[in-house]
Amino acid sequence: MKSKLNLLTVLILAGSLAMANQALAQQTGYKLIDIGTLGGPVSYILPAGQIGSFSQLNATSTLVGGAATSIPITPNSNPIVVCGGIEGDVPFVNHAIEWQNGSVMDLGSLAGPDHCSVATSINADGVNSGHSETAATDPVTGWNEVHAVRWKNGTIMDLGTLGGSISFGAGINKSGQIAGF
């Protein structure tokens, strides 16, 4: 009898908590939205503390990040540019994305559809910073080189390096100046 009473108490508490959470969600007006992918199994924004996690959502509700395509990664795909997903366990090329008003747009990469990229930041004017694989191979790692990039009006621009084979675009300010390393 005691175990039935305990079970009933647990069920009543669980139901009460569920109703309270539902009421709270309705009051705050928050809505969970699946932003979709580019044909692969995942999409993401870089979590706080990751390389380049700055303003990934601007005032016009445009979100930037990355998403998997259905294109398999190659042995020289660079895992640092999130080829293979944010955890590195998805064997597909990831591209930078921009999501707005229910649509996800593929921002592409410097070297075509079989190379990875990720958008790390967006400013109020909709200009994005991030990084992308190039067609060149890093002589030290054997992976594709990665360069900081800017996406503006649908066009990607290679920001180059400081003489090495890798650079990352991390953040962008309202003037369009990009910070990185």
At 134-180, the pLDDT tens digits run 999 999 999 999 999 999 998 999 999 999 999 999 889 989 999 99
Same domain, 14 and 77: no
Position 44 in a domain: yes
The pLDDT confidence band at residue 47, using thresholds 50, 70 and 90, is low
Task: Specify the pLDDT at position 52.
Answer: 45
Strand order across the beta sheet in which 117-122 lies: 117-122, 128-137, 144-152, 155-158
Task: Give the list of residues 6+ apart from residue 50 with CB closer than 8 angstroms, or none.
Answer: 86
d(CA 179, CA 181): 7
Same domain, 84 and 122: yes
d(CA 82, CA 72): 13
Same domain, 26 and 52: no
* Residues listed for the chain: 181
> Within 13 Å, how many C-alpha atoms sit on residue 99's CB side?
21
* Residue in the structure block whose two tokens are 């108490």: 9
Task: Specify the pLDDT at position 5.
Answer: 42
Task: Specify the pLDDT at position 4.
Answer: 47
Q: What share of the chain is helix, strand, coil (3-state, %, to 5)?
A: 15, 40, 45
Task: Specify the pLDDT at position 85.
Answer: 67
pLDDT for 16 beyond 70: no
Position 121 in a domain: yes
What are the tens digits of pLDDT across the range 80-126? 777 876 666 789 999 999 999 889 999 999 999 999 999 999 999 99
Higher per-residue pLDDT: 69 or 20: 69
Same domain, 132 and 50: yes
The one-letter amino acid code at 128 reads N
Q: What range does the domain containing 143 cover?
A: 39-174
Question: Is-above-0.85 flag for pTM?
Answer: no
Task: Specify the pLDDT at position 27.
Answer: 66
Position 181 in a domain: no
Number of domains in the chain: 2
d(CA 20, CA 74): 48
Same domain, 126 and 166: yes
pLDDT for 131 beyond 70: yes
Same domain, 90 and 17: no
pLDDT for 45 beyond 50: yes
Same domain, 93 and 165: yes
Same domain, 91 and 116: yes
Task: Specify the pLDDT at position 157.
Answer: 97
Position 179 in a domain: no
Same domain, 77 and 152: yes
Same domain, 70 and 141: yes
Same domain, 18 and 58: no
Position 180 in a domain: no
